């Protein structure tokens, strides 16, 4: 058998055994396996056999219970489990994942069988399998990995809640009404019926016993708790049901397994073009595929062996469903409960899941009479516990605390499934998730400055049509100024609607007689050429002493030294004959475009008017961000003092990666997406939110270790500050970790 081999690593966990490992090569004689591999192979074989028995004991009550909850003969649940072991188990994809009938599809199958009859189940499952095989060939497995976690958890909760409601009726040996809403409406009548029937009270007692066992069995001391809780519940339930007073409790009706098979005929396939049937095929395909691949991802996190090949696994699930449909059995998926039991039992190869199918086959053929002793209420209790695990109320609380937007998506998905149906609920959840992403990705900050006859806008982030009203409002706010400047060159994205609005507004201002209209858009080639020319013609520079008007010499410099600025070596003064910047230059928000910005940046720092050199005019943080190649590593990016340890493209303001001189772990961009990033340990004030500025930090001392993460209150404008202590979940709100 060509099963992939997984062996225990040095850390006691499973590790993949590659071709270069000791036990996979040939011996010195040139043939056979080395002698030291024989004990390992025997050990792996023994472990896989024991694991298969554990999985069989877990799968047996689940196969029976899911079939009973689905309204199909119990024998078909066993048949579906056999196919999951013997057929899907042989195929490549995931070596340790175990497939079988899934509780998550029980309610859907029951609704379909009730409306269309059990004869149509086979064709639907067959078509579901064929579609899955096609998706696997088209390599669509990755699509299911890209679904939002909030939608996935909402889908599982939406599956679990109706399952709980349906099994409440089965626990007391009563017939459910159908939809979740009708089941809720029938609860008062159900309570009245149970109160007036000793038989139903006896069934309720057995069901509650099974539920309690499933919830608390993990607390039982080892090694007893290694026995699956559903098996204990079934065995104990059978024993109690044999006592006097429980004679009226319903038992499982298990007929001949071979007689239960209902092979699909060509005539059956003529009904698959019914719109309702097509909708069910799509629903089965989406849910079965998603549940299988989500389970595969969870199983991969449990071991260090070979990772799941998602497209191959999707194809394998399709083959299994096609085979199950051909014999009229139930849809199958990979089941996390069985898969987890397989991994935890120490399985190393796919042999364990294949053998579990063999044990199911033998039990169904040789010992069918034992299944007739199992009370239905016990199986309902086991499935009710499974439904609760799917519903998972703590997941709602955790999601809400982690990200309220994603929490809303999860709640809407669950509610839509409950009130409508599974497919429509998932589609609604996906739609809300897309809207949430669009809102977050369209975050745009607008910095508006009005001084005298000049109005200026600086746009950052992503400008999409969702932010068009805000953009129009900002443009109108500076429309009355004769000189207007709109800098959109640093937008991460500018869509057509916003671009057209800015361009049309600029043309309107020109026609209205504005003295100067300056608009810079992303990808402006003229601006790029101008910047390249500036970089190419940068003259050699020397350091000279400069004292600014009204500023004492040495402000901002080290003790006993004069403040310094940079001078153009090609002239006796600053570029193009301009004098050194004066104090008044730093109150003007619109510096001369011909003036090289480096003198402004350095002098601005000396006047303590700049938090750093990372963006804008010195009065707003410095020029170096606009010209990182000219005014870069030696002089820029520290918010309090220039130092070579803070390299481009920016530590405080420029989007990009930067690091502390003694903390070489690269950080996230200074302006992160709206959800924010935790920054491990930068300078405590090196990366504050623009709306939450602090005083400049002390000069950098290379002899001191990196300072601790910032521990102050969260900024009102959103978290993006240093340290793991704070991390925003959405722009402008978040929670302490």
C-alpha separations of 60 from 67, 382, 555, 595 in Å: 11, 12, 81, 81
Q: Are 545 and 562 in contact (CB under 8 A)?
A: yes
What is d(CA 611, CA 686) in angstroms, rounded to the nearest whole number? Answer: 9
CA distance 628 to 620: 16
Query: What is d(CA 400, CA 388) in angstroms, rounded to the nearest whole number?
Result: 19
Q: Cis link prior to 223 (omega < 30° from 0)? A: yes
This prediction's pTM: 0.57
**Short-list 63, 65, 74, CA closest to 260:** 74
Phi/psi at 76 (nearest 5 deg)? Answer: -70, -25
Q: Which residues contact 437 (CB under 8 A, 6 or more apart)?
A: none
CA 575 to chain CA centroid, Å, is 53
Q: Which of 377, 338, 330, 328 is nearest to 359 (CA)?
A: 338
Q: Say if residues 492 and 461 touch (Cβ distance below 8 Å).
A: yes
Return averaged pLDDT per consecutive 10 residues of the chain, 737 residues in all.
37 37 37 46 76 87 88 92 94 89 85 89 95 94 79 86 89 83 89 90 93 90 82 90 88 84 88 90 90 83 81 94 95 87 84 93 88 88 87 91 91 91 85 87 88 91 88 92 92 90 92 90 60 38 30 32 30 35 44 43 45 40 43 38 34 35 34 33 39 42 52 40 31 30
Tell me how far CA of residue 76 lies from CA of 64, 71, 254, 331, 333, in angstroms.
8, 10, 10, 10, 15
β 733-736/726-730 pair status:
antiparallel
Q: Distance (Å, rounded) from C-alpha 716 to C-alpha 723?
A: 17
Burial class (CB in 10 A: 0-12, 13-18, 19+), 679: buried
Coil vs helix vs strand at 707: coil
CB atoms within 10 A of CB 562: 15
* Whole-number pLDDT of residue 657: 34
How is residue 733 written in tokens? Answer: 């709100």
Helix 229-241 vs helix 376-391: angle between axes, to the nearest 10 degrees? Answer: 150
* 60: nearest Cα among 210, 204, 228, 220: 228
Contact in structure between 509 and 485 (CB atoms under 8 Å): no
Structure tokens at 585: 């230059």
Cα gap 375→533, rounded to integer Å: 85
Residue with tokens 């069910």: 280
Q: What is the pLDDT of residue 277?
A: 92
User: How many CA within 13 A on the CB side of residue 110?
Assistant: 25
Query: Which two tokens mark 701?
Result: 């001392």
CB under 8 Å to 442, separation ≥6 — which residues? Answer: 461, 462, 463, 464, 466, 467
- What is the per-residue pLDDT for 260? 86
617 touches 589 (CB < 8 A): yes
> In the chain, what are the domains?
41-419 (no CATH), 444-523 (3.30.750.24), 653-737 (no CATH)
């Amino acid at each position: 058998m060509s099963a992939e081999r997984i062996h225990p690593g040095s850390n006691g966990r499973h590790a993949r055994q590659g071709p270069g490992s000791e036990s996979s090569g040939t011996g010195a004689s040139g043939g056979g396996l080395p002698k030291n591999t024989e004990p390992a192979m025997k050990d792996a074989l023994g472990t896989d056999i024991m694991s298969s028995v554990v999985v069989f004991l877990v799968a047996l009550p689940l196969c029976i219970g899911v079939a009973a909850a689905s309204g199909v003969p119990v024998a078909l649940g066993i048949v579906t489990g056999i196919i999951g072991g013997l057929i899907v188990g042989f195929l490549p994809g995931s070596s340790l994942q175990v497939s079988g009938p899934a509780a998550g599809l029980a309610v859907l199958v029951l609704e379909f069988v009730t409306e269309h009859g059990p004869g149509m189940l086979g064709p639907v499952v067959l078509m579901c399998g064929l579609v899955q095989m096609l998706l696997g060939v088209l390599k669509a497995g990755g699509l299911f990995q890209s679904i939002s976690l909030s939608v996935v958890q909402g889908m599982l909760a939406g599956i679990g809640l109706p399952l709980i409601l349906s099994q409440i009726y089965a626990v007391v040996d009563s017939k459910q009404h159908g939809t979740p809403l009708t089941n809720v409406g029938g609860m008062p009548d159900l309570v009245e019926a149970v109160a007036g029937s000793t038989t139903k009270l006896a069934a309720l007692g057995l069901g509650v016993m099974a539920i309690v066992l499933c919830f608390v069995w993990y607390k039982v001391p080892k090694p007893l708790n290694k026995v699956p809780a559903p098996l204990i519940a079934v065995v104990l339930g059978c024993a109690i049901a044999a006592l006097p007073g429980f004679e009226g409790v319903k038992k499982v009706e298990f007929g001949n397994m071979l007689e239960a098979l209902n092979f699909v005929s060509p005539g059956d396939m003529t009904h698959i073009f019914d719109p309702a049937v097509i909708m069910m095929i799509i629903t089965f395909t989406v849910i079965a595929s998603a549940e299988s691949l989500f389970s595969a991802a969870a199983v991969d996190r449990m071991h260090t062996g070979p990772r799941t090949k998602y497209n191959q696994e999707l194809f394998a699930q399709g083959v299994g469903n096609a085979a199950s449909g051909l014999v009229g059995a139930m849809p199958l998926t990979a089941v996390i409960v069985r898969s987890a039991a397989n991994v935890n039992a120490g399985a190393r190869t796919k042999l364990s899941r294949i053998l579990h199918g063999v044990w199911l086959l033998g039990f169904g053929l040789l010992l069918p009479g034992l299944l007739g002793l199992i009370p239905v209420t016990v199986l309902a209790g086991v499935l009710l516990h499974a439904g609760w695990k799917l519903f998972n109320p703590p997941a709602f609380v955790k999601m809400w605390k982690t990200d309220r937007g994603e929490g809303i998506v999860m709640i809407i998905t669950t509610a839509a499934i409950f009130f409508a149906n599974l497919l429509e609920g998932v589609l609604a959840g996906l739609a809300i998730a897309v809207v949430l992403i669009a809102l977050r990705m369209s975050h745009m900050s607008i910095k508006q400055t009005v001084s005298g006859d000049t109005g200026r806008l600086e746009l950052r982030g992503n400008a999409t049509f969702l932010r068009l009203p805000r953009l129009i409002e900002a443009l109108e706010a500076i429309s009355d100024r004769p000189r207007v400047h709109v800098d959109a060159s640093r937008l991460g994205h500018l869509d057509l609607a916003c671009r057209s609005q800015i361009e049309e507004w600029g043309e309107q201002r020109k026609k209205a007689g504005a003295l100067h209209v300056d608009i810079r858009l992303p990808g402006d080639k003229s601006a790029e050429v101008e910047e390249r020319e500036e970089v190419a013609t940068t003259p050699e520079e020397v350091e000279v002493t400069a004292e600014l008007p009204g500023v004492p010499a040495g402000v901002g410099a080290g003790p006993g030294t004069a403040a310094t600025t940079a001078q153009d070596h090609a002239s006796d003064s600053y570029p193009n004959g301009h004098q050194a910047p004066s104090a008044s230059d730093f109150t003007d928000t619109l510096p001369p475009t011909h003036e090289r910005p480096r003198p402004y940046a350095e002098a601005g720092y000396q006047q303590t008017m700049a938090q750093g050199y990372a963006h804008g005019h010195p009065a707003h943080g410095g020029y170096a961000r606009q010209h990182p190649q000219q005014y870069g590593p030696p002089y820029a990016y520290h918010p309090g003092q220039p130092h070579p340890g803070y390299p481009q493209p920016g530590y405080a303001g420029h989007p990009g990666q930067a690091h502390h001189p003694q903390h070489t772990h690269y950080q996230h961009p200074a302006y992160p997406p709206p959800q924010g990033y935790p920054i491990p340990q930068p300078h405590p004030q090196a990366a504050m939110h623009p709306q939450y500025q602090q005083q400049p930090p002390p000069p950098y001392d290379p002899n001191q270790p990196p300072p601790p993460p910032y521990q102050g209150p969260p900024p009102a404008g959103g978290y993006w500050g240093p340290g793991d202590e704070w991390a925003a979940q959405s722009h402008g709100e978040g929670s302490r970790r």
